[in-house]
């Protein structure tokens, strides 16, 4: 490896600025589904964490969590309670029993619709927890393009520091790579200083090859994170899809020196699943990607099961879910 190659590997983490669209790279992408599925099947068994190490990994999972409420019945009261849980995600008595008081455990972000951004910003003021807003016609991405861009700008003006947008799936299904690149680049520009998390809706892209090509183009266009799903599709985050996406992140880093984050979302409900995703990140990308500046888990009900596992570690007993309310 040459000196310039080594230099970019040692570069401190900085925001991905994007690169010009490289269609030769996009068209050269191939994915061996059977090999991906074999590797994905072995990942959960390659590492096991027990006792205090499991508790530590679960606390790390909480810090990487985008605590989310995206219901049609959301109210300011719902969001206020969610923000209170984001600030104190684990009961104080459990934190004391584990001996983790000094860690100041809190979630990575709170994710809401635009209408609730100002409420969440007000509730989280001074905590350091950013507000993420879903935008750009979420969850389908089919509203007029100008309207999607204005929605992003409005959420940023309201105080959102992260924007979760959703791509137009038809661009991928029709091999309209320039249109996809231009769309994501326009969304990135509309975000300004807010970080852009690009949702690919992988369950609707048809093939793993499409997933990898969409991942690469989103990164070329300046995405700070690539994300699996809206949580509204029939198939959401799966380990095989995750493997394809994180390997795209690794190749992008190898080629450009820029680190892009990853966010699986949808269907991640158990503490065991959160550990599987952390193992995937550590095995495929290494330690920098098991921190919340480069890894997030989109979740709404996951936190309650993690709390149950932490209580089992502290007391030897499992508790009911109603002992761990979301707010």
Q: β-pairing, 65-68 with 109-113? A: parallel
31 found inside a domain:
yes
7 found inside a domain:
no
Tell me the CATH number at 222: 3.20.20.70
Cα 124 from Cα 81, distance rounded (Å): 11
pLDDT of residue 4 exceeding 90, the answer is no
The residue segments making up the domain with residue 62 are 23-323
pLDDT of residue 85: 96
Q: How would DSSP label each residue in 252-277? A: HHHHH----EEE-BSS--SHHHHHHH
Cα 104 from Cα 87, distance rounded (Å): 9
Q: Which residue has the higher pLDDT, 102 or 129?
A: 129
Tell me the pLDDT tens digit for each residue of 195-218: 999 999 999 999 999 999 999 999
The count of structural domains within the chain is 1
Tell me the pLDDT tens digit for each residue of 149-183: 999 999 999 999 999 999 999 999 999 999 999 99
Cα 53 from Cα 181, distance rounded (Å): 42
Which pTM was predicted? Answer: 0.93
Do 131 and 121 form a contact (C-beta atoms < 8 A)?
Answer: yes
15 found inside a domain:
no
Which residues are catalytically annotated? 164, 227, 263
62 found inside a domain:
yes
133 found inside a domain:
yes
CA atoms lying within 13 Å on the CB side of residue 154: 15
pLDDT of residue 12 exceeding 70, the answer is no
Token output for 89: 């995600």
Closest by Cα among 293, 310, 313, 294 to 302: 310
Say whether the peptide bond before residue 268 is cis (omega within 30 degrees of 0).
no
234 found inside a domain:
yes
């Amino acid at each position: 490896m040459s000196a310039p190659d080594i230099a970019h590997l040692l570069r401190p983490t900085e925001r991905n600025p994007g690169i010009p669209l490289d269609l030769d790279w996009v068209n050269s992408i191939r994915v061996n589904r059977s090999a991906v599925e074999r590797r994905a099947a072995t990942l959960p068994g390659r590492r096991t964490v027990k006792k205090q190490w499991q508790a530590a990994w679960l606390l790390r999972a909480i810090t990487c969590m985008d605590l989310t409420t995206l219901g049609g019945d959301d109210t300011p009261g719902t969001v206020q309670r969610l923000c209170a849980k984001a600030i104190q995600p684990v009961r104080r008595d459990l934190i004391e029993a584990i001996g983790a008081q000094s860690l100041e455990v809190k979630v990575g972000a709170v994710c809401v619709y635009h209408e609730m951004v100002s409420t969440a910003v007000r509730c989280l003021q001074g905590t350091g927890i950013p507000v993420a807003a879903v935008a750009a016609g979420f969850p389908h991405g089919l509203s007029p393009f100008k309207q999607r861009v204005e929605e992003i700008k409005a959420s940023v003006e309201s105080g959102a520091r992260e924007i979760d947008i959703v791509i137009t799936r038809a661009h991928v299904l029709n091999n309209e790579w320039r249109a996809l690149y231009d769309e994501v680049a326009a969304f990135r520009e509309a975000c300004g200083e807010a970080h852009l998390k690009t949702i690919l809706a992988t369950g609707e892209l048809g093939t793993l090859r499409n997933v990898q090509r969409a991942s690469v183009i989103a990164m070329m266009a300046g995405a700070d994170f690539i994300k699996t799903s809206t949580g509204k599709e029939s198939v959401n985050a799966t380990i095989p899809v995750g493997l394809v996406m994180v390997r795209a992140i690794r190749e992008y880093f190898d080629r450009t020196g820029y680190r892009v984050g990853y966010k699986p979302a949808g269907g991640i409900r158990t503490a065991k699943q959160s550990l599987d995703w952390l193992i995937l990140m550590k095995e495929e990308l290494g330690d920098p990607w098991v921190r919340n500046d480069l890894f997030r888990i989109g979740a709404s009900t996951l936190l309650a099961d993690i709390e149950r596992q932490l209580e089992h570690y502290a007391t030897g007993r499992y508790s009911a879910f109603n002992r761990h309310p979301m707010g």
